[in-house]
Amino acid sequence: MKIARMISIILLLAMMPLNSLALVRDDTSSPADAISSISPIRKQSTANAELKKLAYKSFKWFQHYRNPDTGLVLDRGSNWKDAEKRNTMASIASSGYFLSLLPVWVRLGWLSESEARKEALRTLRFAWTKLPTHYGLFYHFMDWKTGRRWGDCEVSVLDSAIFLNGCMTVAEGFRGDVARVANELMDRADWTQFLVSSGNGQVLALAWSPENGLYGRADVRSSEMSMPYLLAIGSDAHPIPKNLWYHMRTDFGKLEGYRILNPGFPLFTSYFGLGWCELKNMKDKDGVDLYENARQTALANRAACRAIATRWKTFRQDEGGWWGISAGDSPKGYVAAAPPDGDGDGTVWPMAALADITWIPDVIDKDLVRWMSSMNWDEVNGAYGLAPFSLDKSWVGDDVIGIDLGSFSVNWANYNTGLVWKLWGEHPVARKAMERIGFTSDSNGKQSRTHKGFSILAATRK
């Protein structure tokens, strides 16, 4: 189960056919300007109150499964109280989500500003001085105490991008020494060393290892695949040509009547990168709208789960109408499941569905209330989040995975305040990427992306 997750997803993708919030405020701006640049926290509904509880559980998980000396976060950990940590395998992606969420936790009052700065610096400095890299990108998994490569795992382009997204977020959120180390890590990433050929021209590889060299191709237009391209094209030190964005192919198809990108992919691939890069009302030069695609994919995934409810008890309306077919633990181990039939055993991943709160909030509100009133709620609502489960196999997952909790928490935070979007979007790499790729807005008015001070925002939390 350790390395199986990356292998399953790489095989799924690579085998497809070719076709601040800063502490120092700008003195020329008033506190009112700073406050108005961040949306107020939304009013509490029954569902959003429960989502906040789940976000707090996620916060507790990251604190519990983070090494206090290195700042590295375990890849997975038990979802049930008093369970022992079963291994010391950290993931670079879990650690990236931890960084990305530090400003959110300060905003919510769950962590002090000074402690968040310390935790950010601890993680960044360990990554800079101790973690082995290949041209600045990181191994997917490592020992959470020493930072050494875990087994024969790969240097992961996608998971490194998640960590570097976290670097950008805390650089803008905390500035000072945090930004200095974070930006050194950004500049060390030499994306030009990860290019491979495809039928559409050069694209980024998915991975590298000492044993196999570069392998896999990030050649599919998706929110997930957008992450390394945004960082690589916007890079100050080692940019790749901007036209490589358009070397990713666009595979549109139909799922339950919805026209979406990559209908045979797990749900998470439609929203992963959008946790940092908002792209609302934005299209690239090919007219692809990844933000709207995330909304349509969420609705299609939900409809697909309803369509198979006649075969799988898990998805039946009288059982709560659960939905969310994605990658994660199952009775078979870790799988990269996708519609229309999931993994063929009735497994659902509810945290993956809740991560779509940004795109279909009204639907999530209604569905979550229904889930909460179902007979299965207490069985799957663990200490740190909702477990994957299958009623058909009488199975409930033992663990929660850091990237699942992280993606939900980042998206929920953006839905409420837009904080991660605003921080990431202020970083020079983000600004350059957006300009170079050539995104255009469908909106009549431009959204404000300015912010004036983290201490101001911390003072406005509710």
Q: For residue 108, tell me if it sits in a domain.
A: yes
Q: For residue 36, tell me if it sits in a domain.
A: yes
130: how many CB neighbours lie within 10 A of its CB?
13
Per-residue pLDDT tens over the stretch 186-213: 999 999 999 999 999 999 999 999 999 9
* Confidence category of residue 313, pLDDT binned at 50, 70, 90: very high
CB within 8 Å of 141: residues ≥ 6 apart: 2, 3, 75, 89, 90, 91, 92, 149, 150, 151, 153
Tokens of 114: 């000074």
**Pairwise CA distance, residues 119 & 142, whole Å:** 19
Is 345 within 8 Å of 313 (Cβ atoms)? Answer: no
Please, what's the largest Cα pairwise distance for the chain? Answer: 63
- The pLDDT, as a whole number, for residue 20 is 36
CA distances (Å), 151 to each of 67, 141, 147, in order? 19, 8, 12
> Is pLDDT above 70 for 61?
yes
The distance of Cα 160 from the centroid of its chain, to the nearest Å, equals: 12
Per-residue pLDDT tens over the stretch 14-34: 434 433 333 333 333 322 232
* Exposure b/e, 139-175, CB count within 10 A at least 16 = b: bbbbbbeebebbeebbbbbbbbbbbbbbbbbbbbbbb
Tokens of 451: 């912010």
- pTM of the prediction? 0.89
Average per-residue pLDDT for the chain: 89
Is 368 within 8 Å of 354 (Cβ atoms)? Answer: yes
Is 120 within 8 Å of 170 (Cβ atoms)? Answer: yes
Name which of 4, 125, 20 is nearest 457 in CA terms.
20
The domain that contains 423 carries what CATH number?
A: 1.50.10.140
Name which of 349, 221, 332, 333 is nearest 286 in CA terms.
221
- The pLDDT, as a whole number, for residue 86 is 67
Name which of 364, 352, 361 is nearest 403 in CA terms.
352
Report CA Rg, the chain.
21
- The pLDDT, as a whole number, for residue 442 is 77
> Is pLDDT above 60 for 1?
no
Q: For residue 282, tell me if it sits in a domain.
A: no
Name which of 123, 171, 116 is nearest 147 in CA terms.
123
Q: For residue 245, tell me if it sits in a domain.
A: no
Name which of 137, 176, 189 is nearest 429 in CA terms.
189
Domain limits for position 267: 19-239+260-276+289-439+446-459
CB within 8 Å of 402: residues ≥ 6 apart: 61, 62, 65, 73, 74, 75, 76, 77, 91, 93, 94, 97, 98
3-class SS at 31?
Answer: helix
- The pLDDT, as a whole number, for residue 285 is 97
Residue type, 339: P
3-class SS at 53?
Answer: helix
Per-residue pLDDT tens over the stretch 92-147: 999 999 999 999 999 999 999 999 999 999 999 999 999 999 999 999 999 999 99
Residue 6 CB burial class (10 angstroms; 0-12, 13-18, ≥19): buried
Tokens of 221: 């237009």
| Number of domains, the chain | 1
Tokens of 83: 């369970």
Per-residue pLDDT tens over the stretch 389-406: 999 999 999 999 999 999
> Is pLDDT above 70 for 364?
yes
Mean pLDDT of 33-47: 48
